[in-house]
Amino acid sequence: LLDWYRKHGRNLPWREKPDPYRVWISEIMLQQTRVDTVIPYYRRFLRRFPTVAALAASPLDDVLKTWENLGYYARARNLHK
């Protein structure tokens, strides 16, 4: 499996720094959404909310605005809770 991954694995931004917050954000964004669609949203979201504390301290409207056009806005609201 590891040999296959070294040959065929994709270079994805949430694998660069696999801390729990980044993995959590990627898992939520990837629900019913294609990887290619998620990547730019993931990068923008983490620039705006680099930590769970930054996310929690931000107004919900900021979170929803950053999530805009990714769809399934309940995911963003649940992240903010």
Residues recognised as catalytic: 27
- Residue 64 CA from chain centroid, whole number: 13
Structure-token match 């680099």, residue found: 50
* Two tokens, residue 64: 């929803």
Cα–Cα distance, 66 to 21 (Å, whole number): 17
